[in-house]
Amino acid sequence: MSVNGDKVSGERTNSDSDRPVRVYADGIYDLFHFGHARAIEQAKKSFPNTYLLVGCCNDEITNKFKGKTVMTESERYESLRHCKWVDEVIPDAPWVLTKEFLDKHKIDYVAHDALPYADASGAGNDVYEFVKSIGKFKETKRTEGISTSDIIMRIVKDYNQYVLRNLDRGYSREELGVSFVKEKRLRVNMRLKKLQEKVKEQQEKIQTVAKTAGMHHNEWVENADRWVAGFLEMFEEGCHKMGTAIRDGIQQRLLRQESEENRRMLQNGLTNGDDDDNDNEPISSDNEFGGEEKHNDDEDCLNVSNKVVEIVKK
């Protein structure tokens, strides 16, 4: 393809096939970020052997057509020089590319994303319209989620925090363009915010402790139930054994007393039989009376022992 008889297509001739392909990328590159670096990397890797030129517009033309930048033109140029993919930086780059500019720098291709870039200068609808028309445009892909405007928006959104951040680092309110009243209000608000954060932190700690205590409480209740049940079982068994031992002891004592009483009565009966021959009442009736009284005493002792056992069980 040719324009006004001059060859301007991206086709290479045999005479220059050994030289690197000269690819050009341009932009403002304010607050240079990884989105810029990725676009430049894509341009550098467009061909196996690429010489990448990167143009950057100066402050005057940028402020005129796009708006105020955060970094100065010299800072933006220097940022590009420290990018590993850049072979050459072209300062004071034009806003709209022309054939003369391409010829001057021997540019084979221009790399940029394919979206139309509005021409604020009024020269056309798309800054890259001419380059696309002559077949020298090399498309790159934008990196979503990052841009200079996004970074500025984050700063604006958290403006108060960044002002306090710099005040704490030694900057004066005059340097930051903040009034005396504004500074005091920001500091008070920041103290309140820190206090709220501490209160919230303490609340979370209390909730954690309460949750842990609740878990331990449930565990303690379960263990307590087991301990009480085990104690009652052991106590009941012990009471039963003690009651049995008391009853057996009482019975043995009663048996010994009964045996001793029978022995004494027997001895007394033999003696009285020899001396009291004129006694009208038979000895057998006394023995029966004594036996009945002794029998009643035995029953009373057994009843007492049984009551003792019942009381112990209760």
For 23-69, give the secondary structure using H, E and C.
EEEEECCCCCCHHHHHHHHHHHCCCCCEEEEEEECCHHHHHHHCCCC
The whole-number average pLDDT for the span 128-147 is 94
User: Nearest-CA neighbor of 44 among 53, 54, 52, 56?
Assistant: 52
The whole-number average pLDDT for the span 115-133 is 81
For the chain, list the strands marked E by DSSP. 2-3, 6-7, 21-27, 50-56, 88-91, 109-113, 137-140
Residue 138 · residue 23 · CB < 8 Å: yes
Return the CATH number of the domain spanning residue range 2-145: 3.40.50.620
161 pLDDT above the threshold of 60 = yes
pLDDT at residue 300, rounded to an integer: 60
Please state, as a whole number, how many other Cβ atoms lie within 10 Å of the Cβ of residue 178.
20
Please state, as a whole number, how many other Cβ atoms lie within 10 Å of the Cβ of residue 306.
14
pLDDT at residue 274, rounded to an integer: 55
Per-residue DSSP letter, 260: H
- Domain coordinates in residue numbering, the chain: 2-145
Dump pLDDT digits (tens) for 52-69: 999 999 999 999 999 999
Residue 44 · residue 23 · CB < 8 Å: yes
Of the two residues 266 and 162, the one the predictor is more confident about is 162
218 pLDDT above the threshold of 80 = no
Please state, as a whole number, how many other Cβ atoms lie within 10 Å of the Cβ of residue 12.
13
User: How far is Cα 66 from Cα 26, in angstroms, rounded to an integer?
Assistant: 14
User: Nearest-CA neighbor of 175 among 166, 185, 186?
Assistant: 166
pLDDT at residue 189, rounded to an integer: 86
pLDDT category, 14, cuts 50, 70, 90? very low
181 pLDDT above the threshold of 80 = yes
Phi/psi for 58 (5° steps) reads -80, 175
Residue 37 · residue 83 · CB < 8 Å: yes
pTM listed for this prediction = 0.57
Of the two residues 74 and 185, the one the predictor is more confident about is 74
Please state, as a whole number, how many other Cβ atoms lie within 10 Å of the Cβ of residue 90.
18
Dump pLDDT digits (tens) for 43-56: 999 999 999 999 99
Dump pLDDT digits (tens) for 220-244: 777 777 777 777 778 777 777 777 8
285 pLDDT above the threshold of 80 = no
pLDDT category, 276, cuts 50, 70, 90? low
Quote the mean pLDDT of the chain: 81
Residue 44 · residue 85 · CB < 8 Å: yes
pLDDT category, 272, cuts 50, 70, 90? low
User: How far is Cα 160 from Cα 184, in angstroms, rounded to an integer?
Assistant: 12
- Of 97-106, 153-162, 297-306, give the range with the top mean pLDDT: 97-106
The whole-number average pLDDT for the span 157-163 is 90
Dump pLDDT digits (tens) for 94-116: 999 999 999 999 999 999 999 88
Of the two residues 85 and 293, the one the predictor is more confident about is 85
Of the two residues 178 and 213, the one the predictor is more confident about is 178
